[in-house]
Structure 1
Amino acid sequence: MNATYKQVTKARYIRQVSDLAREIFVQHYTKLTPKVAAQLAEAWQNEDLTDDEIHCGAVNYFLIYLGSEAVGYFALDLRPVGAVCISRLFLLEKARGRGIGRSVVAYAQKLAEGDGRSRLFLQVWAKDLKAEGFCKRCRFRPAGVEPVEVLPGVTLDIKTWEKLWR
């Protein structure tokens, strides 16, 4: 079954992104305690923040569906000059390994190319070896690491990956 995407614009879908984030962050950030991972989701993917990002016009969120079930989400940040940044790409554990991430990258690249952009960025947690492998398989190259204080006293190194095609 192929994944489909639905752009997030309404409050109920924004709520769905936040609900998915709480579940996915606990699954994904296994080197953090479940409590800290849940706090991270609340701080970085709450409904107000997501709504603000969408309505500023520079970030587009999409829910990812397999059939009628939402299994993840991604966000495309259109602010970088000459590039599109996949600033978030999260899938439920049961949806991983099905090519969904690669299809999101292909979709983002197609969008970037259609808009005359020649680069695609993807930001991931630097200690996430699965994400690093994914970036390499999608032909991204490392472009830098920046420590980000994600919660008071909790800093994560965020690694930016870059893909060029011109």
Structure 2
Amino acid sequence: MKPTFKQVTKTRYVEQIAQLAEEIFVQHYTKLTPKVARALAQTYQSDLLTDEQIHSGAINYFLVYLGSEAVGYFALDLSPAGAVCLSRLFLLEKARGQGIGRSVVSYAQKLAEGDGRSRLYLKVWAKDLKAEEFCKKCRFRKSEVVPTEVLPGVTLDLATWEKLWR
């Protein structure tokens, strides 16, 4: 089944992203405790923060659907000059490995190209081997790794992966 994307503008969908984030972060960040993973979701993907980001005009959120079921979300940060940052891409475990992420990357690249931008990039946890494999499959190249404090006392190495064209 081919995924569809719905741009998030209404409060009920913003709340749905926050709920999905808690579930996905616990599934995804398995090297962290579920409590820390939930804290990450509440810190970086609360409904208030997501709503604020949407209304800033620089970040657009999208829900990812398979049929009528929301199975994940992504966000595109349009503020970097000449680039688009795929600032979020999270899928429920059951939706992974079906080509949905590659569809999101293709969609983001088409939007970037249509807007005259020549770079698409994303940042992932450097120790996430599945994310690294995904980036390589999508023909991104690693450009840097930076230690980043994501919560007080919790530092993760974040790798930037980029695609350039033109």
| TM-score, with structure 2 as normaliser | 0.99
- Report the equivalent of 2:121: 121
Structure 1 unmatched runs, 5+: none
Structure 2 distance, partners of 1:113, 1:58, is 17
Structure 1 distance, partners of 2:49, 2:126, is 23
- Report the equivalent of 1:92: 92
Which runs of structure 2 are paired with 1:16-165 in the superposition (5 Å)?
A: 16-165=16-165
Q: Which amino acid aligns with 2:92?
A: L
Question: CA offset at residue 35 of structure 1?
Answer: 0.6
Structure 2 distance, partners of 1:115, 1:123, is 21
Structure 2 distance, partners of 1:51, 1:160, is 25
Structure 2 distance, partners of 1:143, 1:80, is 16
Structure 2 distance, partners of 1:88, 1:146, is 17
Q: Where do 4+ consecutive residues of structure 1 move more than 6 Å?
A: none
CA deviation profile, 1:88-145 (whole Å, cap 9, x unmatched): 0000000000000000000000000000001100111111000000000111001111
**Number of residue-to-residue matches in the alignment:** 166
Question: CA offset at residue 152 of structure 1?
Answer: 0.9
Structure 2 unmatched runs, 5+: none
